[in-house]
Amino acid sequence: MRIKPSLPSSGTVAILYAIWLATPRISVGVESVPRDSFNFSGLDRYVTRLAEISEGSEAALFYREKNSYKGISSLKKLKYLKARQVNQGFLDEICDIENLELLSLSIISVHDLSPLLRLKKLRVLRLQAVHRVQDFSHLSSHAGLEGLYIEHARNLTTLDFLSDSTKLTRLGVEGSMYTPQKIATLRPLSKLRSLEALFLTSVQLADKRLDYLSACKALVELTCARFAPKENFEELSRLMPGLKCQWFDKYEV
């Protein structure tokens, strides 16, 4: 899989757009959705009423207003969903849509992510603006996840929960435009032997070592902040000559 290293803007939205440009599309009836994209062709706005989503829809954009989400679990054919203003009740009902394959949640006020384990067909998950979650370990227990993107998670400071996510091929952990994600170390990622693409923009590292990533033999793309000294990027380049990273050749800006 080849992923464009140049991004149109910062943040996970840009990452997903880059993947959209680089990956083949899969047919979803009248929609056309690439493997990791949440830019659904034909859907240009969020709806707040379930009546605006047809019963046979396979893709939807939904914005919760109070209890307007109730009944969304009846949309059994949904495979691709973007949802905003996600509280615990909304998440619980989303996780009864058993055919979901791609799920994007933003402005998240839930405290428990364990309902996601009920989505056995889920392949790609995006979490944006996660305010209350303390425990992310449930994500590593999901056997089917291939792509995971987490942006602006207030209580996330360690990647230890990812050490068992050996099937992940694409991972993004990022802060917001104005608040970088503070991460202790990349060491837990050394166990992700299937990882092909890693996105760490708007991240601050306490442990500046990058050589942990050399254990990720499948890794071919690293898009990240300039969060380590030049010599650390040079060392990683020597250890992984096949890896593409914007800082290997142009560290000075």
pLDDT at 61: 96
Q: State the residue for tokens 């939205």.
A: 13
Does residue 160 belong to any structural domain of this protein?
Answer: yes
Q: How far apart are CA 44 and CA 22, in angstroms?
A: 21
Q: How far apart are CA 60 and CA 168, in angstroms?
A: 25
- Name beta bridge partners: 153: 130
What's the domain count of the chain? 1
Does residue 6 belong to any structural domain of this protein?
Answer: no
Q: Which residue has the higher pLDDT, 198 or 14?
A: 198
Does residue 2 belong to any structural domain of this protein?
Answer: no
Q: What confidence tier does 24 reach under pLDDT thresholds 50, 70, 90?
A: very low
Does residue 80 belong to any structural domain of this protein?
Answer: yes
Q: How far apart are CA 108 and CA 92, in angstroms?
A: 13
Q: How far apart are CA 155 and CA 4, in angstroms?
A: 30
Strand bridging mode 31-34 / 25-28: antiparallel
Ranking 8-17, 85-94, 121-130, 152-161 by mean pLDDT, the lowest is 8-17
Does residue 70 belong to any structural domain of this protein?
Answer: yes
Q: What is the CATH number for 68?
A: 3.80.10.10
Q: What confidence tier does 41 reach under pLDDT thresholds 50, 70, 90?
A: low
- Name beta bridge partners: 203: 181
pLDDT at 203: 98
Positive or negative CA dihedral for 116, 139, 66, 44? negative
Which residue range(s) make up the domain with 36? Answer: 12-248
pLDDT at 165: 92
Does residue 5 belong to any structural domain of this protein?
Answer: no
pLDDT at 37: 64
Q: Which residue has the higher pLDDT, 41 or 34?
A: 41
Q: pTM value?
A: 0.85
3-class DSSP assignment, residue 49: coil
57 pLDDT exceeds 70?
Answer: yes
Q: Which residue has the higher pLDDT, 24 or 224?
A: 224
pLDDT at 115: 98
Q: How far apart are CA 16 and CA 243, in angstroms?
A: 20
Q: How far apart are CA 84 and CA 107, in angstroms?
A: 6
Cβ 90 vs Cβ 66: under 8 Å: no
Does residue 139 belong to any structural domain of this protein?
Answer: yes
Cβ 219 vs Cβ 246: under 8 Å: no
CA angle 183, 189, 194 (to 5 degrees): 145
Amino acid residing at 49: R
Does residue 170 belong to any structural domain of this protein?
Answer: yes
pLDDT, one tens digit per residue, over 108-120 is: 999 999 999 999 9
Q: What percent of the chain is predicted at pLDDT more than 90?
A: 79
> Residue 205: which H helix or E strand, with range?
strand 203-205
